[in-house]
Structure 1
C-alpha cells in the first residue's frame, strides 16, 4: 500500500495533478497582477512574438525567440519569489543581506532581459534593414 506524503505538521500534501496546475496558474496570475515589470515583460514578449509572425521566422529563429521570451518571464517570477521571501523574513524592514539578495535577483532579471534584447536584435535587425533598404 502506498503512503501519502505528509509535511511536518502531518497534513497530506496535494498529489492531484489538476490541483497542482491550478495552483501554478494562480501563482502566474498573482505575479502578473502584482508586478508591473511582469506585465511589461509580457507586453514586450507578445510584441516580439507578433514580430516573429510578421517577419515569418524560421523554426530555429522561433526557438531562440521563445527561449528568450520565456526565460525572461521565468526569471521575473523567481525574482518576485526572492523579493517576497526577503520581505516576509525581514518583516519589510531593511536588512543588508536582504538588500543583497534582492539586488542579485534583480541583476538576474536584467541579464536575462539583455540576453532577450540581444536575441531580438540578432533576429529582427537584419530583417528590418532588408525591409527598409530593399
Structure 2
C-alpha cells in the first residue's frame, strides 16, 4: 500500500511532534530498505570509534562528523530520487529516469570519495606515527 494512503495524510503537518515522527520514520525506512545506507552507517560508526581511539582534535572531529553526515544525507537524497523515478515510471525503464538515477548515484560516489579523502588525511598520519614508534 502506498505510504500516502497508509498515513492518510492530506494536509501539511501542523504539529512539530507529528513532523518529527514522519522524519524519523523516513530515516528508519531508508535504513531498513537500503543496504548502502546500512553500509554507510557502519562505516561512519567505525570512523567515530577510530576518532576516539586516535583522540582527534575538535577540528578533526568537525571534519569527520561533517563527511559522515554528508554521506548519509546524500544517500538519503539518492534514495528519494530512485523512489520518485520508480513511482513516475511505474518501475519501467526510461532513459531520463536512468540518467536521474545515475546522477544521484554519482553524487553519492563523489561524496563518499571526499569522505575517504578526509579519513585518509585525518587517520594516516596518526597510524604512521604509531608504526614509526614500533619500527
Other-structure match for 2:122? 123
The unaligned stretches of length 5 or more in structure 2 are 1-9
Other-structure match for 1:3? none
1:26 has 2:49 as partner: no
- What displacement does 1:86 show? 0.1
Other-structure match for 1:8? none
| Range 73-82 or range 13-22, more displaced | 13-22
- What displacement does 1:117 show? 0.2
- What displacement does 1:15 show? 1.4
Match of 1:13, SS? coil
| Range 12-21 or range 105-114, more displaced | 12-21
Other-structure match for 2:36? 37
- Give TM-score, length-normalised by structure 2: 0.90
- What displacement does 1:13 show? 1.8
1:114 has 2:101 as partner: no
Other-structure match for 2:6? none
Other-structure match for 1:65? 64
- What displacement does 1:14 show? 1.1
Question: Residues 2-41 of structure 1: CA distance to partner in whole angstroms, max 9, x if unpaired?
Answer: xxxxxxxxx5421111110110000000000000000000
Measured in 2, the distance between the counterparts of 1:12 and 1:93 equals 30
- Give TM-score, length-normalised by structure 1: 0.91
Question: Residues 62-110 of structure 1: CA distance to partner in whole angstroms, max 9, x if unpaired?
Answer: 0000000000000000000000000000000000000000000000000
| Range 11-20 or range 59-68, more displaced | 11-20
The unaligned stretches of length 5 or more in structure 1 are 1-10
Q: Using a 3 Å threshold, how does the CA distance of structure 1 residues 34 and 56 change in structure 2: closer, same or farther?
A: same
Higher normalized helix content (fraction of residues) = 2
- Give the RMSD, CA atoms, in angstroms: 0.7
Measured in 2, the distance between the counterparts of 1:67 and 1:122 equals 14
Q: Using a 3 Å threshold, how does the CA distance of structure 1 residues 12 and 97 change in structure 2: closer, same or farther?
A: closer
